[in-house]
Structure 1
């Protein structure tokens, strides 16, 4: 658009969706997603319930429910209990044998974790193998194939949570801790396995998992993942932020001490050099832990205040984060932002045992393949 009294500027449209007709196949996929979303969120419903709750016609609901039953996603569960006038309603729900996702987690130092995860985020099978900087796609494909062989259920796709900046096509643009640069991770793994593969930043998929399966407030949540490195995932208005650079959440590489230790990214004194699990293990007193908590709060406060975030989640080893460090973060928030904001922001801890990267990688598959968030 040309602005009055200003030199016209070319506006970038690279991130826009093309404008065009909604194809019948798109509408059908959307309607299928509505039905599955309703059943995932609220449990078994009758066809009449689904028609009312989705605003789709009963004919459309009947057709799509039959289709989803034929594909193994849904099953009839009998009639609704209780006394009703007329013919009892037959309930449908997610089948216990519905297709599953293979989830892979590259976030831990020296370890590759994998799991078979159902549509509700339940881990059915879990495996772990050694994985070091420099290992190639073959090692990842081998674990995925092992998990594939471990379940008789149909595989919907493969999801991967990896450190680094990951674009929308599943290419790892840069991952300093793994030594990867422009690695076409999703495409190479898909070719090796013959399955759809979706990759995302590990912190982002962990944030999605805490929103989809945990207690996360997806209207405004910042999840900080603390492991071999430090990364962040941001949920605003029900969506994970990525940004045009796909670097949203790379908070671990904000410099907090220019004279600090060398970071894997090439800078000195990044937050990651103080807050990563290996760095925290070296701290031997509460004063040092409080100092790290203050550094963390100084980085987080402007993000939380600017975006209006109410839920701050520290996802990492509880034994390293509880106590002085967590108390310091909470206290610093109270001093560094408006009282109105400080009184409404919760800072909480989610331990690593919750496996958020694995369940988040499965949620990524669920969304990309089925449209269910």
Structure 2
């Protein structure tokens, strides 16, 4: 059962008004009533508590010289809202506070012992969230959104399975709510990134795919500005498409999955084996830059790694385009800082293998939203309690 925190989800009409002002910008009560199909009386009753909470404000623009009282636009006040976004990863978590447009204003990272079980991990996460909230001087936190690897149940409460974390049927929301007393919602990490990128990344598209490459290869889809939940468990496992026949064993139990040839650990291992990195630690986000530099200097090993990256990723992206036809594909994780020549070759290779009719219908971009995991969790929380349709 959800926690009885300090905030209850806004009503249908209130969420509709908040969503309209967020997406369309300031508008008068008359315009809002017409757009939403509500009467003048209903819109007045709907707007009043939103003004009282400070979520909306009225901007009197002076009105000019026209006859009668001019319409006063309603405008959103994102700073009046605080939500907490949490990104769970292997041996780490990121926690941040964001406003009503999922803009992260405060973020903390924490290392976690990978051998800890799920309740112990979530205990530490809850304590970290409580510390951040205690130090924050902003608006009270109205919800927590957790971006977790793996599928979740339809109620956005339980992480059903995370191969890389070794979790199964973990009641994430229940465990965190018991510690925090704030409503908690959980969803697949890359789907929340896609949600934040679609709503707050300035792409002006309704259909977007987010591909996130780190420990695994994750895919999140937003279609018609709504998170896409396919099939029984809402799962889109791009990283477990077979990329190599009879390839290396994957953590999922299959062989030759895309994760085994494109993930951060695989690329770091190949770069070290080729002598492109020293024996010490290396910034995983920089491995593609190292490979690109060595390839430019003529290293045959680096050229082979680069060619495999382009081939495997472009084939995977082409599958996404052919199946879902998103107008925008966002490459995150280690590809967020990838050298531009490498991205240009990935774009070109993807277009070559996409169905011809779709080749000019999409773009491949870097993320526009900073701190994607935390912002994704924040976007999830905002949709759950402030903006989302029923």
The question of a shared fold, defined as TM-score above 0.5 by the shorter chain, is answered with yes
Tell me how far 1:49 sits from its aligned partner. Answer: 2.9
Conservation of the 8 A alpha-carbon contact between 1:318 and 1:350: no
- The reply to whether residue 163 of structure 1 matches residue 149 of structure 2 is yes
Counterpart of 2:172 (choices 179, 182, 185) is 185
Where 2:21 maps in the other structure, the secondary structure is: helix
Secondary structure of residue in 2 paired with 1:86: coil
Partner Cα distance (1:312, 1:97) in 2: 30
Shift of 1:97: 4.7
Q: Indicate the residue corresponding to 1:49 in structure 2.
A: 31
Correspondence for 2:131 among 126, 134, 146? 146
Q: Deviations over 1:49-98 (max 9, x none)?
A: 32233231111111111111223322333345544322243333223552
Task: Give TM-score scaled by structure 1 length.
Answer: 0.84
Deviates more, 1:37-46 or 1:78-87: 78-87
Task: Pick from 301, 315, 329 the counterpart of residue 332 of structure 2.
Answer: 315
Q: Deviations over 1:100-136 (max 9, x none)?
A: 11110114x4321111111112212211211232432
Preserved CA contact (<8 Å) 1:75 1:94: yes
**Change over 3 Å in CA distance of 1:286–1:150 after alignment to 2:** farther
Residue from 18, 35, 52 that aligns with 2:17: 35
Q: 1:343 aligns with which of 357, 360, 378?
A: 360
Greater RCO (Cα-Cα under 8 Å, separation 6 or more)? 2
Do the aligned partners of residues 260 and 320 (structure 1) sit closer, same or farther apart at CA in structure 2, a change above 3 Å counting? Answer: farther
Between the aligned partners of 1:55 and 1:190, the Cα distance in structure 2 is 36
Name the counterpart of 2:213: 226
The residue aligned with 1:14 is none
Report deviation, 1:197.
Answer: 0.4
What residue number does 2:58 align with? Answer: 76
- Shifted more, 63-72 versus 204-213: the winner is 63-72
Per-residue deviation, 1:294: 0.8
Q: Which runs of 5+ in 2 are unaligned?
A: 1-8, 272-290, 292-301
Gaps of 5+ in 1: 1-25
SS of equivalent residue, structure 1 residue 56: coil
Deviation at 1:171, TM superposition (A): 0.9
Q: Secondary structure at the match of 1:90?
A: coil
Q: Is contact 1:229-1:276 (8 Å) kept?
A: yes
Q: Is the 8 A contact 1:163 1:202 kept in 2?
A: yes
Task: Tell me if 1:331 matches 2:348.
Answer: yes
Give the aligned partner of residue 285 of structure 2.
none
SS in 1 for 2:83: strand
CA positional deviation for 1:217? 5.9
- Structure 2 vs 1, CA of residues 56 and 80 (structure 1 numbering), >3 Å: closer, same or farther? farther
Q: How far 1:146 moved relative to its partner?
A: 1.6
Aligned-pair CA distance for 1:311 = 1.9
Residue correspondence of structure 1 range 84-95 to structure 2 within 5 A: 84-95=66-77
Write the distance in 1 (CA, Å) between the matches of 2:65 and 2:233.
54
For the aligned residues, what is the CA RMSD? 2.5
Aligned residues between the structures:
346
